[in-house]
Amino acid sequence: MRSDKEMMDLILSVAEKDERIRAVYMNGSRTNPTLKEDLFQDYDIVYVVTETNSFLEDEEWVDVFGERLMMQEPDKNDQGKDGEFADFYGYLMLFTDGNRIDLHIETIPHMQEHYGDDKLTVPLMDKDDCLSEIPDATDEDYHVQKPTEEEYLARCNNFWWCQQNVAKSLWRNEMPYAQFMLECVIRRDLDQMVSWWIGTQTDFQVSTGKVGNYFKKLLPEKFWAMYEATYADGDLEHIWDALFVAGDLFRTLAGQVADEFSFTYQWDEDENMTFYLRQVRKLSSSADRIF
């Protein structure tokens, strides 16, 4: 596996030799001072170029970065080969040595409009002094934000309301929809509440990562154990178990968040839906009424 120095030397040497490339900057995890480096960190690189067309016409120009296992061109995937790529284009490349470069090319006008929007940005090369001065890289834009009472109440309401969709799917023996509701809908609300609770413990000065990547290191062990238990396999009873654990964790954290901000936790929604879930769980498959 090529070292960090080898990769950075390559990235910069390609830019140095190519007159079309006028500046280089990096963003992403490698610019985040709060993260520990590891072997899976991507090189999120932007080449500021005079134009994109000549790069797009030469499909082999990215071969200079090494032998690839696979590449994705998300802009082409989204827009088709005849899309509008005059200002910006991306190449996501995974190499046979395990390194990955997420490389974007953008024109100077596009850079001037967007440079520094992401506060995790570090300039690497500037041939023409076209990159403006920006503050040192910080992940502050990714910190958990304090909830308004309206946001808090909406999350609580949606978390409990959507559980009846899981319940009816489990009674119908429709595991895919039950899992979808649990993982794609209810978990969003649970994760947001977990993040708000972590915010209250850290003065809202941390990021919890993409989809809770840092929950394990930020939650007390007992809460992390509960969070782990909210993931179920395809067994219907295990999904029921996970759903009830999710409720237990949610009400615990939501109650503490409410206390922190003097919000009112809607105990009636919690209690009524929990009662409903228990009733549906014990129904026989031949039941002709819920209550």
**Domain stop point among 141, 160, 192:** 141
- 98 is a domain residue: yes
- Tell me the three state secondary structure of residue 228: helix
- 288 is a domain residue: no
80 pLDDT above the threshold of 90: no
State the alpha helices, DSSP H only, in 18-72: 53-57
- 291 is a domain residue: no
Looking at the structure, tell me whether residues 30 and 54 fall in a common domain.
Answer: yes
275 pLDDT above the threshold of 90: yes
- Span 68-96, average pLDDT: 94
**Domain stop point among 84, 108, 141:** 141
Give the domain range for residue 239. 143-281
**Domain stop point among 93, 125, 141:** 141
Residue 104: strand pairing partners: 46, 90
Mean per-residue pLDDT over the chain, rounded: 96
Q: Would you say 99 and 7 are in contact if contact means Cβ atoms under 8 Å apart? A: yes
Residue 83 confidence (pLDDT): 81
Residue 165 confidence (pLDDT): 98
Looking at the structure, tell me whether residues 137 and 18 fall in a common domain.
Answer: yes
Looking at the structure, tell me whether residues 119 and 169 fall in a common domain.
Answer: no
Q: State how far the Cα of 151 lies from the Cα of 159, in Å rounded to an integer.
A: 12
- Span 117-146, average pLDDT: 95
- Span 79-94, average pLDDT: 92
Q: State how far the Cα of 127 lies from the Cα of 130, in Å rounded to an integer.
A: 8
- Span 267-287, average pLDDT: 96
CATH assignment at residue 45: 3.30.460.10
Model confidence over 216-245: pLDDT tens digits?
A: 999 999 999 999 999 999 999 999 999 999
Residue 214 confidence (pLDDT): 96
Looking at the structure, tell me whether residues 44 and 155 fall in a common domain.
Answer: no
Q: State how far the Cα of 47 lies from the Cα of 280, in Å rounded to an integer.
A: 57
194 pLDDT above the threshold of 90: yes
State the alpha helices, DSSP H only, in 122-233: 149-161, 163-171, 175-180, 187-201, 215-218, 221-228
State the alpha helices, DSSP H only, in 202-287: 215-218, 221-228, 236-261, 267-281
Question: What's the structural domain count of the chain?
Answer: 2
Looking at the structure, tell me whether residues 78 and 154 fall in a common domain.
Answer: no
82 pLDDT above the threshold of 90: no
CATH assignment at residue 258: 1.20.120.330
- 185 is a domain residue: yes
- 159 is a domain residue: yes
Residue 185 confidence (pLDDT): 97
- 83 is a domain residue: yes
257 pLDDT above the threshold of 90: yes
16 pLDDT above the threshold of 90: yes
- Span 42-67, average pLDDT: 97
Residue 81 confidence (pLDDT): 78
Looking at the structure, tell me whether residues 95 and 12 fall in a common domain.
Answer: yes
Model confidence over 154-168: pLDDT tens digits?
A: 999 999 999 999 999
Of all residues in the chain, the percent with pLDDT exceeding 90 is: 96
- Span 186-193, average pLDDT: 98
36 pLDDT above the threshold of 90: no
The answer for 184, left when phi > 0, alpha when psi is -120 to 50, beta otherwise, is alpha
DSSP β-ladder status, 43-49 and 21-27: antiparallel
115 pLDDT above the threshold of 90: yes
